[in-house]
């Protein structure tokens, strides 16, 4: 991995962790507010639960792209495909 791709990966990880941190804070405020006001957690669009669900799905997609489908995985797949396409030379 060269410097530019490593820098880009660190930048993406930093953004992901920052977004995850804010997600946790906002989730805590919304759920604690629901519990203190009503005694239960209310899942409705105006309370923010649906927004948190969508935000959580986006975070999961970003996590999969960052940790499972990274450049190492891509390079491994490229190498496997290149090995498949090699043809034996018959003399």
Q: Per-domain residue ranges for the chain?
A: 15-81
Helix (H, G, I), strand (E, B) or coil at 39: coil
What was the pLDDT predicted at 22?
94
What was the pLDDT predicted at 76?
81
Q: Which of 74, 65, 86 is nearest to 15 (CA)?
A: 65
Total-model pTM: 0.66
Please name the helix (run of DSSP H) or strand (run of DSSP E) that holds residue 46, with its range, or none.
none
Q: CA gyration radius for the chain?
A: 22
Q: Kindly report the CA angle at 50 between 47 and 56, in degrees rounded to 5?
A: 125
CA dihedral 75, 80, 81, 87 (to 10 degrees): 140
Q: Mean pLDDT per segment of 10 residues, for the chain of length 91 residues?
A: 81 93 90 72 64 90 87 79 70 64
Per DSSP, the residues of 65-88 read: IIIISSHHHHHHHHHHHHHHH--P
Question: DSSP code of 64?
Answer: I
């Amino acid at each position: 991995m060269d410097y530019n791709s490593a820098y880009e990966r660190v930048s993406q990880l930093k953004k992901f962790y920052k977004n995850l941190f804010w997600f946790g804070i906002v989730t805590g405020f919304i759920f604690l507010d629901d519990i203190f006001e009503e005694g239960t957690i209310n899942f409705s669009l105006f309370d923010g639960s649906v927004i948190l669900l969508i935000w959580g799905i986006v975070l999961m997609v970003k996590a999969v792209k960052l940790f499972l489908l990274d450049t190492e995985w891509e390079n491994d797949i490229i190498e496997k495909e290149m090995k498949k396409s090699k043809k034996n030379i018959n003399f």
